[in-house]
Amino acid sequence: MPKAIVIGAGVIGASIALELARSGYDVLVLDKGAGVGTGSTSASSAVVRFNYSTFDSVALAWEAFHCWKNWREHLGIDLPAYTQLHDVGVIMLDVPVMSIEGTQAHFRAAGIPFERWSSTDLEANATYLDSGSYWPPKSINDEAFYREATSKLGAIYTPNGGYIDDPKLAAENLAAAAATLGVVFRFKSEVTKFDIADGHINGLWVNGEYEEADVVINACGPWSAKVNELAGVGDDFTISLRPMRQEVHQVDTPRGLLPGPIIGDVDLGTYMRPTSNGSLLVGGTEPECDPLEWVEDVDLVNMNRTAERFEAQVTRAARRLPALQIPHAPMGIVGVYDVAADWTPIYDRTSIAGFYVAVGTSGNQFKNAPAVGQLMAFLISHIEAGHNHDEDPLIFIGEHTKNEINLGAFSRKRPYNSLNTHSVMG
Ligand SMILES: Cc1cc2nc3c(=O)[nH]c(=O)nc-3n(C[C@H](O)[C@H](O)[C@H](O)COP(=O)(O)OP(=O)(O)OC[C@H]3O[C@@H](n4cnc5c(N)ncnc54)[C@H](O)[C@@H]3O)c2cc1C
């Protein structure tokens, strides 16, 4: 049996481990943390939506949605607790940086049901929303932020999509399914060195001990660039990787403020989703008026939410949801994105034979994790069997949707995706 080592036991690593085990690999997962999903996965807002700038990303999200929808079948085991998809739908408000025509064309091609809403439709269907257009987003310290809107927004509505209620439990579910197939998980196990000879990986050192491997997969989330550096890969990447600090805030008053779909609001620079207990989560979409918090060392990030970020994000949310009451004390969490230069992930081999990457998840790949495990197992099996993916990109066919997803779109050597929104929207 060929041996695979997955570095990282987040939602991506756990999913890859499960699918590699299903493909006949003997799998060991190593994580420097204390358990499954303790990295960026546990900070995830776990929003499930289909709006991306390329067809392949849209089709991947639609395929993965069906995995969440059929979660027990996807896992194939009985467990005491399952994470749950809240399939409440998505309202993506219009904004110049996201092509309305392009999104509709991708949705049609992928077979995703949607409705095009005028501002009148938006006001009729989401009476709790302010439909004003405030583009471009402004700092809340700028008096222009408080000006009246001069026009109104429409939206693209998908009746499907929503959120996963417990992202850490999602990773734990995948790990539990993998464990039943013999996958071994080792925690407090930091990979510090690789054994590479003649352009091929043979193994690695973890906590000072040597482990042999036929293939190694870097699924280290925001630590991925550091691990690539350790392996000496990256020179042939056209897309760079860089960690970025993020805050997501919670508002509890009034409860049930967002009764239906989640809201993508790049117009004001936020996204909002309900939680299963009626609170509201508010995140940001990297508006140009806010400083981007690039990170040098992920292990030294300030993991406390700040009053400044809280006020900025929640005040924007209150503009869209006039009934929202801004709490005095900030509540929320801090996480770190693994940002790829064009906000599109890299799922690929590297210049070292046997060393693979599932990285650059750019704050937008939690939703895709179940299908990412499948596409990585597909990619690894074909490349290990001799396929030249760099020259002849593999096509992954979604089990549920039958969509053809060109894995060249996630290549480390792809041309920069110039249609990206320069934000978490991808
Ligand atoms: C605040 C926030 C909000 C988000 N919201 C959404 C959302 O709404 N929707 C969405 O689709 N996506 C979202 N994302 C993105 C999504 O959560 C991530 O893309 C996903 O969780 C990444 O999973 P991962 O397994 O690749 O990384 P991680 O969960 O970070 O796991 C990487 C693991 O690698 C381990 N590791 C690192 N270095 C080493 C080493 N040298 N040796 C051993 N182990 C190592 C770490 O301990 C860690 O456990 C969000 C992310 C954040 C931070």
Q: Work out the mean pLDDT of the chain and round it to a whole number.
A: 97
Q: Is the CB of 301 under 6 A from ligand 1?
A: no
**pLDDT tens digits, residue range 60-116?**
999 999 999 999 999 999 999 999 999 999 999 999 999 999 999 999 999 999 999
HEC readout, the chain: CCEEEEECCCHHHHHHHHHHHHCCCEEEEECCCCCCCCCHHHHCCCEECCCCCCHHHHHHHHHHHHHHHCHHHHHCCCCCCCCCEECCCEEEECCCCCCHHHHHHHHHHHCCCCEEECHHHHHHHCCCCCCEECCCCCCCCCHHHHCCCCEECCEEEECCCEEECCHHHHHHHHHHHHHHCCCEEECCCCEEEEEEECCEEEEEEECCEEEECCEEEECCHHHHHHHHHHHCCCCCCCCCEEEEEEEEEEECCCCCCCCCCEEEECCCCEEEEECCCCCEEEEECCCCCCCCCECCCHHHCCCCCCHHHHHHHHHHHHHHCCCCCCCCCCCEEEEEEEEECCCCCEEEECCCECEEEEECCCCCCHHHHHHHHHHHHHHHHHHHCCCCCCCCCCEEECCCCCCEEEHHHHCCCCCCCCCCCCCCCC
CATH superfamily, domain at 3-410: FAD/NAD(P)-binding domain (3.50.50.60)
Question: What local confidence, expressed as pLDDT, does residue 59 receive?
Answer: 98
Instruction: Return the ligand 1 atom nearest residue 362 CA.
Output: 19
Report how far ligand 1's centroid is from the alpha carbon of 39 (Å).
5
Report how far ligand 1's centroid is from the alpha carbon of 115 (Å).
32
Q: What is the pTM of this model?
A: 0.98
Residue 129 CB-half CA count within 13 A? 29
Report how far ligand 1's centroid is from the alpha carbon of 247 (Å).
14
Domain boundaries, the chain: 3-410
Report how far ligand 1's centroid is from the alpha carbon of 368 (Å).
12
Q: Is the CB of 190 under 6 A from ligand 1?
A: yes
Over pLDDT 90: what percentage of the chain? 99
**pLDDT tens digits, residue range 109-161?**
999 999 999 999 999 999 999 999 999 999 999 999 999 998 999 999 999 99
Instruction: Return the ligand 1 atom nearest residue 31 CA.
Output: 44
Alpha carbons 166 and 401: distance in angstroms, whole number? 25
Asked if the peptide bond before residue 136 counts as cis, ω within 30 degrees of 0, the response is yes
Instruction: Return the ligand 1 atom nearest residue 37 CA.
Output: 29
Question: What local confidence, expressed as pLDDT, does residue 326 receive?
Answer: 94
Report how far ligand 1's centroid is from the alpha carbon of 244 (Å).
12
Q: Whose CA is nearest to atom 25 of ligand 1?
A: 10
Report how far ligand 1's centroid is from the alpha carbon of 397 (Å).
25
Q: Is the CB of 17 under 6 A from ligand 1?
A: no
Q: Is the CB of 375 under 6 A from ligand 1?
A: no
Q: Is the CB of 8 under 6 A from ligand 1?
A: yes
pLDDT category at 289 given cuts 50, 70, 90 is: very high
Q: Under a CB-based contact definition with an 8 Å cutoff, are residues 138 and 268 in contact? A: no
Report how far ligand 1's centroid is from the alpha carbon of 130 (Å).
33
Alpha carbons 239 and 322: distance in angstroms, whole number? 40
Q: Is the CB of 403 under 6 A from ligand 1?
A: no
Instruction: Return the ligand 1 atom nearest residue 47 CA.
Output: 8
Q: Is the CB of 366 under 6 A from ligand 1?
A: yes
Q: Whose CA is nearest to atom 48 of ligand 1?
A: 39
Q: Is the CB of 223 under 6 A from ligand 1?
A: yes
